[in-house]
Amino acid sequence: MSTDTSQTPPEQLLYSTMLFYGCWGSLALMAVTYALYVLGVLTPHVPLEVVTTLWSQPVRVYLEQGNVPTGWGWAVLIGKGDFINFAGIVLLAGMTILCYVPLIGAYMKKKEPIFATIAVLEILVLLFAASGVVGSGGH
């Protein structure tokens, strides 16, 4: 008979549960926003006819002719059919950051300030990387 007394800490369960449902929710959001785009419910920023003519062109040409911003500039176009799907992508990419937030309080409650500090630092590093400040992300 095995007597395994180890248990998964509640903060790890919270993290994994948030990540599980957040990822599936993000994928569902992407499916819904894609449907809004292809069904024409929301007007796209770059008309589909223009997109198809630019498929074989370099990205630079698409950005110029479609008047598409780079970096986080897409955020101002979030209400457009061809950019609303970014909401699900951003949520999916940001789930790790969101999952770290409740860990800070959980670790402070357990009187583990080093782990709480690591969670804060992880959030800051991920936000900094996504900001595009260093030119490696944020697109």
Q: Are 103 and 41 in contact (CB under 8 A)?
A: no
Q: Three-state SS for 6?
A: coil
- Using one digit for the tens of pLDDT, what is the confidence trace for 25-35? 999 999 999 99
Report the pLDDT averaged over residues 26-53.
Answer: 93
- Using one digit for the tens of pLDDT, what is the confidence trace for 70-99? 888 889 999 999 999 999 999 999 999 999
Higher pLDDT, 3 or 16: 16
Neighbour-count burial for 36-71, b at 16+ CB within 10 Å, e otherwise: ebeeeeeebbbeeeeeeebeeeeeeebeeebebeee
